[in-house]
Structure 1
């Protein structure tokens, strides 16, 4: 039981290291002889702690290469340096002129300095490659202009011949010796012997679009060159100035926006007039119908009033009923009896 408690306590000590107190990229790839920069981000509570960079897979067996509390050259070895940016909460490690032997696992660490808490760490794997690389795998240039390709090579190919070829066309290959340069009407190549040589394609044509290769020693890498058409020139319109002069006032030409606003106003006025006319016509027709109905009702009421002057006797009391019809001519008071 005591042993189990001890093991559990030892696991708790490593919890801060697992909770992402420090983060960085998991893997870096760099050509031999180049420089690699590693950024290690940490949480605000570790701002004033000591940071370090070491080589190894565990803290106990990790070889310290650089520390933020000792920036002397005696500690920063093998071209390794470290700096801490307290404002950005990141410390940066720089490894210069890396060799194949630098390939391996490294640790970004924050030193807690307590027997009860483990250091906060994260791991990075650095791979040092032997061969070729390019800054951009695809470059684009405009027809008639130039475009530049930067070819990178590892340290061991510093003295090797460099070659630039169009893929599938070996007659197009151009060779230069280390530290030399070459130039003709369509291409310029130069090697500065600092693990980079540049290729400049001049006076680009649309047919230059395609795949090319950078080579150094036995290694080569492909690059795609894309040539875009030259933009068409705008058509220039020239006008002959008038010979005669006129002092008459010429109203300024309305801009497109003002003309559009004027058209909207005219359209709105026309629509408003049409709506008013339709409304007036509908109102007049309604009024005419009302007046007509009033005349008919007046006439009917007049007839009813005249009929009420002659009461009709009860049909049940007299066997012979008399019906009186009045003519429309009010001048006569004749009656037709049946």
Structure 2
């Protein structure tokens, strides 16, 4: 009796982890030098509890970085904000370095002797390299488009390039001031982990694949130039009136979620009606079988007598013949 009681006590600290929970992303990747926001969702009963953010994979060895009950704002590059209405608290980490990669934990502090904190772990991976905000851009002929290329901190002082894919001779490089400009292309590097490329006065021949580069890192970008819409000249003569015999047919209405729901309700009603009719028909058929089974005992006795008298040639189903045979049999028994 004592052992089950001890086992139950040992499991008490783990009960909140099974019944209630905190969730977050399992793994997050961010480029070196950029910021990262981590959302941690919790169950409604934890709205008034203290939330925290720490570095580590176990609660016992997790270094605290930010808490919602701290009188001072989180030191350094970490901040925490709790939104009880949305039941989520968010962590913001800025200016991340490769050394910041590792396991982190967001948790709700339960407190007490027999309860454990409710936590969720995530792995943050800080990488170096390049990225583009939009890898596919399009613009009308004669207009301009801008590509934003981002790079990690280590490439801040590297030379930036804009090249047409497959043609190394087309590469345009930034100068010592981090800029380049001509009649068709302008490159501007703000030296804060991003540079922009503006393609001016687009032509149809500008469509194709390009790549922006910082150091040895490259990212592809596809540019699509569409022709300028043409407008027809308006003449002074009024257009001919449409024929009254031509009927206007409106375009078919698209099937939306609401229309599909109405169709599904009609289908369900038809199926229910068909099922009810099937049940009623089945009941009538069973009733007929039952009445046939409970037919007049006189007819069943006649059938038995007929089976004994093989020489009788009358119709088994003829009730008149069956009655005559039955009365003859009674007459014989009376003598």
Partner of 1:180: 178
Deviations 1:159-189 (A, max 9, x none): 1111111111111111114652111111111
Structure 2: runs of 5+ lacking an equivalent: 249-335
* Distance of aligned partners of 1:177 and 1:109 in 2 relative to their CA distance in 1, 3 Å threshold: farther
The root-mean-square deviation of aligned C-alpha atoms, in Å, is 2.7
State the structure with more CA Rg: 1
Q: How far has the Cα of 1:133 moved from its partner? A: 1.0
SS at match of 1:151: strand
Is it true that 1:236 corresponds to 2:233 in the alignment? yes
Partner of 1:153: 151
Is it true that 1:80 corresponds to 2:78 in the alignment? yes
Runs (4 or more) in structure 1 with deviation over 3 Å come to 1-12, 253-257
Structure 1: runs of 5+ lacking an equivalent: 242-252, 262-338
Partner of 2:88: 90
Partner of 1:221: 219
More helix by share: 2
SS at match of 1:60: helix
Q: If the length of structure 1 is used for normalisation, what is the TM-score?
A: 0.67
Partner of 1:53: 53
Deviations 1:102-159 (A, max 9, x none): 0011111111012211111111111111111111222222222111111110011111
Deviations 1:221-280 (A, max 9, x none): 1122222232232x1322169xxxxxxxxxxx99999x969xxxxxxxxxxxxxxxxxxx
SS at match of 1:17: helix
Is 1:159–1:178's contact at 8 Å kept on the other side of the alignment?
no
Count of matched residue positions in the alignment of Structure 1 and Structure 2: 247
Tell me the distance in 1 between the aligned counterparts of 2:18 and 2:142: 57
* Distance of aligned partners of 1:240 and 1:98 in 2 relative to their CA distance in 1, 3 Å threshold: same
- For residues 273-312 of structure 1, the aligned pairs below 5 Å read none
